[in-house]
Structures are given as C-alpha cells and as structure tokens.
Structure 1
Amino acid sequence: MNPAPVHPHRFTREDRLRQKAAIQRTLKQGRKKVFPELVIYALRNELPHPRLGLAVSRKVGNAVVRNRIKRRLREAFRQQPTRTQGRDVLVVARAGARQLSMRAMGAYFQQTLERA
C-alpha cells in the first residue's frame, strides 16, 4: 500500500518551530514587531527554509476560534514571497486576532520579515 501523497504546501515537522531551545532563542534574540492583534518575532536560522511557531492562548477564544486563527496564520505565512529565506518566526496571537483579515495578517508578516 502506497503512503498518501504529501501536499506541496503542507506544513511538515521541519516547517514548524517546535524545539524549546529554538523558541527561546527566537524570543530572546529575534526582532520583535508588535501589532495590536499579534506579536511577531523573527530570527535568521541556518536552514534553507523558514520555520513557523504559533502561540494562541485560551484568552483569544475557544478551541474552534484558536484553531481557525492558527490555520489562517499558517496560510498567510505560506503566501509570503520572502518565505524562501531561512528564518524562525514565532507569532503570539492576542485577543484581537479573531477579527484580523488574511490581508492584514499577510501585511504584518511582510513588515516583519522584510526587516528580519
């Protein structure tokens, strides 16, 4: 039996910022950009691809709302033209992220990533 084909735009384990040390390094050494709905940290890494970490607390909403925000953030990040560069990006969502449009999410990523 053949394994299911991998979608080319899927976020694999390698695309996710998962290690505690990498997350802490991004928080301490990364460039921080604060927006009313999000806080984005970005730090260059040695990898040929970027990694994305998301933090969406229960203050933002219930599980359905939090998962929707995470899906939208992943998609906005995936659509960034600067995604080919190796960076660790950590996004902390605030309560206002519920009303944030995809266009605004993309603009926030673009503002942060072009300077990191």
Structure 2
Amino acid sequence: MSPVQAHPYRFTREDRLRQKAAIRRTLTQGRKKVFPELVIYVLRNERTHPRLGLAVGRKVGNAVVRNRIKRRLREAFRQQPVRATGRDVLVVARAGARQLSMQAMRVYFGQLLEKA
C-alpha cells in the first residue's frame, strides 16, 4: 500500500504554503478575517487543493507552545470538509491562540472556507 493510500489525510509538502511570493500575495490580495486569537487570510489559487501557511511568533510562547499551536492548526485545517477547492490560507496566531480549543479552530476555518 502506498503512503498516499495508507494515510489519505496526510498534510504533505504540497499542502503547505511555502513560497515567499505566494505568502505575500495571500497577505496583500487575500480576504482577511480577524478573530481575537487568529488572523486568517484566504485567497483562491489555481490548484486543485488548498494550501496552508502558518505564522506563529515568539510573542505567542516558547517553542513547545508554538509547535503545539501549529500542530493543532494543521489538524483543524485538515479536518475541514470543504478542502476540495484550491485556496491559499495563511494563519497568523496571536497570543490568545494558546487557550484556543480545537473546536474553535475548526469553527474559524469552517466560517472562512465556506465563504471563500
């Protein structure tokens, strides 16, 4: 069984927003939604699948806290049912993201991805 078949919901390299130009384009042209714990930018892309970019600065917490937030954001994004269309999503975490529950993360992503 190939890795794709074994783990159909993996968060692969192609699922990540990594190029500086794509990140900048999402920041400048994307639709912005501000929540108390997160700022999320969404922009349609030409791809068949969405890509996620994360920005979690040192003000949010130490490395352990930042990595936990990133893992949880990736998982909340991965679980979205509307992931079939191409969108670039950039998430900027604020200090309040430490207390954000998985359910709240899913709700935030759901609100944005349904409208975009």
TM-score range for the pair, normalised by the shorter chain length = over 0.9
Select the residue among 2, 5, 11 that pairs with 2:3: 5
Matches within 5 A, 1:75-90: 75-90=75-90
In structure 2, what is the Cα distance between the partners aligned to 1:83 and 1:103? 17
TM-score (structure 2 length as normaliser): 0.93
Query: d(CA) in 1 for partners of 2:84 and 2:31?
Result: 18
Equivalent residues in 2 for 1:24-63, closer than 5 Å? 24-63=24-63
Instruction: Report the Cα offset of residue 29 of structure 1.
Output: 0.5
Distance in structure 2 (CA, Å) of the matches to 1:30 and 1:82: 18
Q: 1:107 is paired with a residue of what secondary structure?
A: helix
Identity of aligned residues (%): 85
Q: Gaps (5+ residues) in structure 1? A: none
Please list every run of 5 or more consecutive structure 2 residues that lacks an aligned counterpart in the other structure.
Answer: none
1:12-49 per-position Cα deviation (integer Å, ceiling 9, x unaligned): 11100000000000001100000000000000000000
Q: Secondary structure at the match of 1:48?
A: coil
Displacement after TM superposition at 1:8 (Å)? 2.2
